[in-house]
Structure 1
Amino acid sequence: MGSSVSVYLAGAALSCWLLHSIYQLLTSHLSDIPGPFWARYTRLWYLYKSNAGNFHLENIKLHHTYGKIVRVAPNMYSISSVDKVVYGAGSHFAKSAWYDSWKHPDPKNITLFSETNIKRHNESRRRVQGMFSMSTMVSYEAQIHEINKVFLQKLHHFAETGETIPLDHWLQCYAFDAVASITFSKTFGFLNEGEDIEGMMAALDKGNNYSSWAGVYPELHPYLYPILERIPASGAAGMGKMIRFIKRMIATRRQQRADEGTGGEKPKVGHTGDQRAPEDFLDKVLNVQAKDPSKVTDAHIFALGWSNISAGSDTTGVSLTAILYHLSRNTRALDKLLKEILAVEAEGKCTRDSFSFAQSQTMPYLQACIKEALRVHAAVGLPLWRVVPEGGRQICGRHFPQGSVVGVNAWVAHSDEAVFGSDAHEFRPERWLEADEDELRALNAAWIPFGAGSRTCIGRHISMLEINKLLPLLLMNFEFELIDKEWTTETFFFVKPNQFKARIKARRVCRDTSDKYT
């Protein structure tokens, strides 16, 4: 009897849900927007597809099939271009509830990335954005130089042994240690050990995976997280592990500062008698807090530490991997870039173990190669979801009522042939150098590997500092022979290669009559 009642209630609930979904669809002003059949009625379609591991490619196919606007779930619409109405300055489009699953349910652990309140986000960002400026990042060149030396030594060892290595793994090891050096004045030891120290990489991956799928049903996150966090292998546990690690690093530094006897602002490098290492990022923010605790709170310090470590390592690791992958597959572009880099060396402006960020900015083909690689392989492969504000807005030629959720995927925007041409799916750095002023403005407007508008990744300059300093050194010193000419990737949030195996040889440089380098 009891089981029959349960079946009856379940059937009634399903019927009510279906009738409600049909009613919403029929009464919606957006009912004619095309998309997959099940996406009209349930978020389960998007949940399944966005966790299948290839949504960056699926999203492109959807727009090829259905056009500029595609429904991916009830009231969720993927758009094909970086519409200024949505992502421009002062647009008032808040991040959607999808981002709620990227934060711990405790509001003390909120981050800039997961903050959906526009006013709170803008206020927090204004307080700290100067610490993330490129001029500030360049002050960390000495730390990056030391990490580069360690990485080059490791790669020289692999060149001598001739062994095949998972290059994507080593590039993430590099990125982890580089951002740790900037943030905490110490590495995590990834490059020395070549292993996932304390399971931090795995924890970060699991946390990202959890947040990606939980974001489809963010209303469940406050209830799911406390349960799943107790399961060691879960993504929620991975997120919790990273939160505890960053808090522990901050607490340790606070104790060190207290033990030094001041507990307040520490002297900067260069003061008489100061033998300390260069001031790292954490000391910078703690010094600002010591001067004015109301400007930078404990919550801000946690949020900044989280931004550096959680986003900085994956973004940089994926981007470096993509650059080397596409250059290795395009010998014409590689030869041209090598010619530019080695000309700089011949002029005595760099050495085989040291390359300045300032010098990299004077090299147009290097910059074109970096931009093009980040275009054809953006690190993030899911849409950047935003909520239409009060009064509704005209987006991609269509009026969307308030409360509608819209988003553009960088992979979709970067493959737009109307902007990038019929060869948009090809790696061709020259497009950035051949474009006239108006064309270049359009290219840059559609280029969003670090996000768009006021929510552009605050740590993007950290990533670009590391990429610009390391890439020329890698190409000057080594040849990378790909084991697999085509790689496969997996997307939950970041678009990561399953494995990028390569053999490394020390580069012997000599110019022949055809201006080739070997």
Structure 2
Amino acid sequence: MPLGDKRLGLIVCLGSLLVAAFLFRRLRQWQRLRHIPGPPLAGLSRFFWLVPLVRSSRLNIWLQELDKQYGRIVRVGPNTVVTSDWKLWKHVMSARSPYQRSQRFVAFRLDMTNDNIVSSIDEQEHGRLRAMMIHGYSGKEVEGVEAKMDIDILSLVHLLESRYILHNKAFDFGRKAQYFTTDVIAHLAFGKPFGFISTDSDVYNYIEIIGNQFPSMSVLTLFPGLLQIFNWPLLNLLLPTAEDKAGLGKLMGIAKRTAAERFGPDRKVHKDMLGSFVARGLTQKEAEAEILMQVIAGSDTSATTIRTAMLHLATNSRVLRKLQAEIDSVAPYSMSEVIKDETARALPYLSAVVKEILRWLPPAMDIATRVVPPGGDEWNGLALPPGTELGWNAIGIMRDSDVWGDDADQFRPERWIEAEADPDKLRDMNTVGDMVFGGTSRYQCLGRIVALMEIKKVLFELFRRYEFEVMNPGNPWTSRCWFIFVQDEFWLKAHPRQCATGGMV
């Protein structure tokens, strides 16, 4: 046989072996989870199912349809399962659970050289960071959290009144909500707002640029190994840097400079969140990573909740009348003041509205997979093989009729007040509702207290002062969902309303 033919035969043979090995591996992957229902192509490759869906910006709709079609435990990839069984997810997330974070979280690195509390998959490291940061997030070691928030709420009020209400002009509340939440978190993290509200603009083009990156970031959560290619010299140039003049890179530069001021012989000492982190032992690099993640994670999710509340309140006169009656019962005070957090927390209907909004549309839709421990697991007779990635279906859990009743697909805040007559039911509702914030002490969102304060205070003040008109009720906004929502083109008009004392606000 000629030498060339031998080489060709060897290449064909090697190629055939590689194809056979690939198919054998795929068959084994398919077989180990074949007992779990799901879309037919899901067991073969993530390319066939998850990638197009994540990129379609309809992740929330897909998760809801998935739950209805296949049940509470569904296979969505060769090695990935999601559940809408809240008791199973509580078991996975419990304090002593042997489940570990999956590689998926690595995709949330904002700097390829530094992990943050979201991207860290080392459970001990994650616990160490939580222990150092929890006091700052809770406000126990921070001066003026509520006072800073009040300044930003009044800035939002001034913006709406001076530029829009006074001139009877419509405004995109999708953007205004994000301006507000980004300024609030920057005020708390960096000591002053970025200036989104004061300039009524997307400062540094941050919102537009980060929004455009969500599709690619969502794909990286499916293939976190792809992050390694950005360590290559040429591809590394594509990443944002602290020297950039806009977008995430600009914020990285601000975070780097702000953190640097808190270290060294001439360091500044402030009793703010960053000051608490530093006092508790965060290094300079860790401080940079954490305050940057704080801005991104804290602004987008809170903005989604505020927008969703605005839409459902402005288009539901029954709920709005009840909320404004409660607001008016405590609201006769100066228009230059903002309701105190202590007062807002004591308002039962406002609390019910906020809980129902978070249930109705959980602001983060990432499936947040954990890895089944080496010994495997079993749930209600269903085997979960070791190494399987198990995530949660947030929208499926929050629409579970066993928890929320036959009207789970309706927005009805009264369900929270009615449940007070049944302590066991209320306990389960609160347990499931808190899963939006991570649920257990091991993973609960550190910013939960601040976020709830921010949401209740701003909703109270907006609906205390104004009546809102949705300009296009049939198609009120453009809403896209990857693991985070991007909602804009939400056009409203606002009109001053009668306050509790009979005068105009």
TM-score (norm 1): 0.86
Residue of structure 1 equivalent to 2:179: 173
The aligned amino acid for 1:46 is L
Alpha-carbon distance in 1 for matches of 2:104, 2:259:
33
Task: Tell me the alpha carbon deviations over residues 301-340 of structure 1, each in whole angstroms, 9 at most, x when there is no partner.
Answer: 1232023211111111111111111111211111101001
Alpha-carbon distance in 2 for matches of 1:10, 1:52:
34
Alpha-carbon distance in 1 for matches of 2:176, 2:194:
13
Residue of structure 2 equivalent to 1:273: none
Q: Secondary structure at the match of 1:479?
A: strand
Residue of structure 2 equivalent to 1:97: 103
Query: 2:437 aligned to 436, 445, 450, which one?
Result: 450
Quick check: 2:255–2:291 contact (8 Å CA) kept in 1? no
User: How big is the shift at 1:131?
Assistant: 1.2
The aligned amino acid for 2:151 is E
User: How big is the shift at 1:225?
Assistant: 6.6
Q: Secondary structure at the match of 2:330?
A: helix
Alpha-carbon distance in 2 for matches of 1:384, 1:329:
32
Quick check: 1:18–1:41 contact (8 Å CA) kept in 2? no
Quick check: 1:372–1:428 contact (8 Å CA) kept in 2? yes
Quick check: 2:132–2:277 contact (8 Å CA) kept in 1? no
Alpha-carbon distance in 1 for matches of 2:386, 2:249:
34
The aligned amino acid for 1:474 is L
Q: In the superposition, relative to structure 1, how do residues 282 and 12 fare at CA in structure 2: closer, same or farther (>3 Å)?
A: same
Alpha-carbon distance in 1 for matches of 2:312, 2:45:
38
Question: Does residue 344 in structure 1 map to residue 350 in structure 2?
Answer: no
Question: Does residue 70 in structure 1 map to residue 70 in structure 2?
Answer: no
In the TM superposition, what are the counterparts of 1:107-506 in structure 2 within 5 Å? 107=113, 109-136=114-141, 139-157=144-162, 158-224=164-230, 230-231=237-238, 242=248, 245-252=251-258, 254-255=260-261, 263-264=266-267, 266=269, 279-286=271-278, 288=279, 295-346=281-332, 351=335, 353-395=337-379, 397-435=381-419, 436-447=422-433, 448-453=435-440, 454-485=442-473, 486=475, 487-506=477-496
Q: In the superposition, relative to structure 1, how do residues 161 and 388 fare at CA in structure 2: closer, same or farther (>3 Å)?
A: same
Q: In the superposition, relative to structure 1, how do residues 510 and 265 fare at CA in structure 2: closer, same or farther (>3 Å)?
A: closer
User: How big is the shift at 1:300?
Assistant: 3.0
Alpha-carbon distance in 1 for matches of 2:116, 2:249:
11
Alpha-carbon distance in 1 for matches of 2:59, 2:313:
24
User: How big is the shift at 1:8?
Assistant: 9.6
Q: CA RMSD in A?
A: 3.1
Q: In the superposition, relative to structure 1, how do residues 33 and 115 fare at CA in structure 2: closer, same or farther (>3 Å)?
A: same
Q: In the superposition, relative to structure 1, how do residues 443 and 23 fare at CA in structure 2: closer, same or farther (>3 Å)?
A: same
Alpha-carbon distance in 1 for matches of 2:35, 2:501:
61
Quick check: 1:60–1:411 contact (8 Å CA) kept in 2? yes
Q: Secondary structure at the match of 2:453?
A: helix
User: How big is the shift at 1:249?
Assistant: 3.4
Q: In the superposition, relative to structure 1, how do residues 416 and 352 fare at CA in structure 2: closer, same or farther (>3 Å)?
A: farther
Alpha-carbon distance in 2 for matches of 1:73, 1:317:
31
Alpha-carbon distance in 2 for matches of 1:167, 1:14:
53
Alpha-carbon distance in 2 for matches of 1:312, 1:378:
14
Percent identity between matched residues is: 26
Q: In the superposition, relative to structure 1, how do residues 361 and 351 fare at CA in structure 2: closer, same or farther (>3 Å)?
A: farther
Task: Tell me the alpha carbon deviations over residues 457-498 of structure 1, each in whole angstroms, 9 at most, x when there is no partner.
Answer: 222222222112211110011111112224442111112324
Q: In the superposition, relative to structure 1, how do residues 491 and 140 fare at CA in structure 2: closer, same or farther (>3 Å)?
A: same
The aligned amino acid for 1:175 is T
Task: Tell me the alpha carbon deviations over residues 136-157 of structure 1, each in whole angstroms, 9 at most, x when there is no partner.
Answer: 5684111111111111011112
The aligned amino acid for 1:178 is V
Quick check: 1:69–1:80 contact (8 Å CA) kept in 2? yes
Unpaired segments of 5 or more residues in structure 1? Answer: 269-278, 290-294
User: How big is the shift at 1:502?
Assistant: 0.8
Number of positions where the alignment pairs a residue of Structure 1 with one of Structure 2:
486
Alpha-carbon distance in 1 for matches of 2:226, 2:274:
34
Alpha-carbon distance in 1 for matches of 2:140, 2:453:
10
Alpha-carbon distance in 1 for matches of 2:501, 2:365:
40
Q: Secondary structure at the match of 2:131?
A: helix
User: How big is the shift at 1:205?
Assistant: 2.2
Q: In the superposition, relative to structure 1, how do residues 308 and 19 fare at CA in structure 2: closer, same or farther (>3 Å)?
A: same
Task: Tell me the alpha carbon deviations over residues 106-161 of structure 1, each in whole angstroms, 9 at most, x when there is no partner.
Answer: 44x21000111111111221122111115456841111111111110111121111
Alpha-carbon distance in 2 for matches of 1:168, 1:353:
25
Quick check: 2:29–2:79 contact (8 Å CA) kept in 1? no
TM-score (norm 2): 0.88
Question: Does residue 23 in structure 1 map to residue 28 in structure 2?
Answer: yes
Q: In the superposition, relative to structure 1, how do residues 444 and 361 fare at CA in structure 2: closer, same or farther (>3 Å)?
A: same
Moved more, 203-212 or 160-169: 203-212
Q: Secondary structure at the match of 1:407?
A: strand
Alpha-carbon distance in 2 for matches of 1:304, 1:489:
28
Moved more, 330-339 or 500-509: 500-509
Alpha-carbon distance in 2 for matches of 1:380, 1:115:
18
The aligned amino acid for 2:353 is C
Quick check: 1:51–1:491 contact (8 Å CA) kept in 2? no
Alpha-carbon distance in 1 for matches of 2:176, 2:12:
53
Quick check: 2:85–2:397 contact (8 Å CA) kept in 1? yes
